Amino acid sequence: MDLLTIISNTLGELIAPTTAAYVLAAIGLNIHFGMTGLMNMGQAGFMLLGAYGFAITQSMGTNMFTSICAAVALAVIYALLLGIPTLKLGPDYLAMVTLAAAEIIRSIGRSTAMTDFTGGSAGISPQDFTTKFDASSPLPDGTTTFLLWTYNNNIANSWWLRIVSWILVAIAALLCWRWFHSPWGRVLKGIREDENAIRSLGKNVTKYKMQALILGGIFGAIGGILFVLPRSVQPDSLGRAVTFYTWTILLLGGAATIFGPILGSCLLWVLLTFVKEVMRGVIPDTLISSNQVESLGWIIVGVALMCLVIFRPQGLLGDRKELAFNA
């Protein structure tokens, strides 16, 4: 067992683009649930639409700004289609609709009828949509070693992608801090606690919910773009499991907090990678296969998360008085 390799691979998750993508998705979910109390069980749908909007327009030869705008526009339209019929009803309706809608988006994406646009179940190759992003890098060609990590500067899973990803995370956290402490954010928290009381004050509760749903969806779409930049746009890679990972991240770090999604994402992927790397180094292949290591890693992390929910239901950074599972 190479201890240095285990440490390098484990700590590498702290700066991974995928970790940052999940942070942005969890920040969006934090606006939905932590701030407003909306039960969005289909955040993967926003991520997949953002990924498709960006990748398809890039493959058509448009510039980066247009592709990002397309991804954001799809997220806004999707939020409107989900929110208009459900936000006046109870939270259970939104949960069911978002879960079903995300599966519909995934099924449409992998449909053979959409192969010319989405690539079907095979998806869209990264060579078709990452060229302009890689070309926008100011970094020189080649590789760079920093501390324990060596990556390409501009190609695929690169330093440039990591820099952009975590700059976006910092901007998102700053915006959320500003929104959470604004009058608008206080109205959303009031809706989360007692929407009838807010309605009695003359506030249009449905309008505020729609704004929160749209904003959280936009963060999800941007997270979807970051998620697919190191890989292909494959619809099954953004299925139900991604939504559940995002919920795990949010609840692990603490809902209704600024840094909860960041801590939750980093901690989840670091712990999971560490457990799997140690098992691969300690347990011989004759006893447990690589696929079984993946499953067993999730089981161990899942048990740890269950203990967290039992003994600290508000999450690591959350305030039990403000928001908890059993509040």
d(CA 16, CA 268): 12
Of 85-94, 117-126, 226-235, 244-253, the range with the lowest mean pLDDT is 85-94
Mean pLDDT over 182-209 rounds to: 93
Q: Which residue has the tokens 């067992």?
A: 1
E strands in 66-165: 143-146, 149-152
pLDDT at 309: 78
Is the pLDDT reported for residue 48 higher than 70? yes
Mean pLDDT over 35-42 rounds to: 93
Structure tokens at 106: 């995934």
Q: What are phi and psi of 75, to 5 degrees?
A: -65, -40
Contact 28, 217 (CB under 8 A): yes
pLDDT at 323: 57
3-state secondary structure at position 146: strand
How far is Cα of residue 250 from the mean position of the Cα atoms in its chain? 10
Q: Indicate the average pLDDT of the chain.
A: 89
C-alpha distances in angstroms, 169 versus 50, 151, 232, 245? Answer: 16, 20, 22, 18
Structure tokens at 228: 């697919």
How far is Cα of residue 98 from the mean position of the Cα atoms in its chain? 15
Contact 295, 283 (CB under 8 A): no
Q: Which residue has the tokens 């285990």?
A: 6
In sequence order, which ranges of 33-128 are alpha helices (DSSP H)?
43-59, 64-86, 91-109, 115-118
pLDDT at 64: 94
Q: Which of 129, 165, 136 is nearest to 54 (CA)?
A: 129
| pLDDT one-digit tens code per residue, 148-186 | 888 898 887 899 999 999 999 999 999 999 999 999 999
What kind and span of H or E run contains 6? Answer: helix 3-12
pLDDT at 169: 97
Mean pLDDT over 97-115 rounds to: 92
CA Rg, the chain, in Å?
20
Q: How confident is the model at residue 326 (pLDDT cuts 50, 70, 90)?
A: very low
pLDDT at 263: 95
- Sign of the dihedral through C-alpha 182, 183, 184, 188: positive
Is the pLDDT reported for residue 300 higher than 60? yes
How far is Cα of residue 224 from the mean position of the Cα atoms in its chain? 7
Q: How confident is the model at residue 327 (pLDDT cuts 50, 70, 90)?
A: very low
Is the pLDDT reported for residue 97 higher than 60? yes
The answer for 120, left when phi > 0, alpha when psi is -120 to 50, beta otherwise, is left
Q: How confident is the model at residue 322 (pLDDT cuts 50, 70, 90)?
A: low
pLDDT at 296: 79
Please, is 196 exposed, middle or buried when counting C-beta atoms within 10 Å of its C-beta (0-12, 13-18, 19+)? exposed
3-state secondary structure at position 233: strand
Mean pLDDT over 88-106 rounds to: 90
Is the pLDDT reported for residue 325 higher than 50? no
pLDDT at 46: 97
Question: Exposure pattern of 24-42 as b/e (b: 16+ CB <10 Å)?
Answer: bbbbbbbbbbbbbbbbbbb
Is the pLDDT reported for residue 57 higher than 90? yes
pLDDT at 1: 53
